[in-house]
Amino acid sequence: MTALTTHCIILCAGENQRWGGYRNAPRKHLVDIEGEPLLSRTLRQVAAYRPERTVVVVREPDVGLYMPFCRPGNEIYPLRSQPGLHTEAWKYLSSRAMWNTAGRTISLLGDVWFSDEAMQTIFQSPEEGWLAFGRSGPSRLTGCQWGELFAHRFHSSKEHLEKLMVLDGLYRAGKCKRAASGWAHYHLMMGLDPHIQRVGPRFVEIDDFTEDFDYPHDYDRWMAGRRT
């Protein structure tokens, strides 16, 4: 049997309005953490698993900004900004052209610091089918008081796309106003109300120092936790 190929996509196309250039980092994906830019760390970790394609999704004007942080063989996929035309579902729909139609796709959020153990879980977890990787509630280590989604893995893009399109339609119709589009998508995949907050099947728990940096205070809280 031929082994499935893997495409790894790192999503870095957010507007970065909440980061504000903190720590002299023009984008939060590039902030220095323990002596290494966040994106550089993620790409180094991904390289250990030798995916057939590694793609960094960025806004078109930012291509030159991100290029120096990429490794040989990495690809940059530029997105043209279209303010007002996209819903919260665009965070995930934006990488559609890079999904692997003949194998496995791993989608990582670019503003997440992944532990080596978390990255191993995402790439080597034995569960099959569509999976979400994240933390279901407050962190036991980082001080964050809520759950987070860090990554997706899927072998068939059809179901992933179908539910994202449903979610996009709900946003456009004003029937979903949830900012946490990853959770809304997860619950649609489970056949549940996109507004609820709970986990069940197809969710792989990661509760270590893996954390999402949305705001500067997320970074500061995480750094304080690392020092204790």
Provide long-range contacts, Cβ within 8 A and 24+ apart, for 47-52.
47/71, 48/119, 49/6, 49/8, 49/119, 49/123, 49/124, 51/5, 51/6, 51/7, 51/8, 51/106, 52/5, 52/6, 52/7, 52/103
Per-domain boundaries in the chain: 6-156+202-227
Give the pLDDT confidence score for residue 83 in this predicted structure. 63
- List pLDDT tens digits, range 66-85: 999 999 999 999 998 766 67
CATH number belonging to domain 6-156+202-227? 3.90.550.10
d(CA 149, CA 132) in angstroms, rounded, equals 7
Which residues of the chain register pLDDT less than 70? Answer: 1-3, 82-84
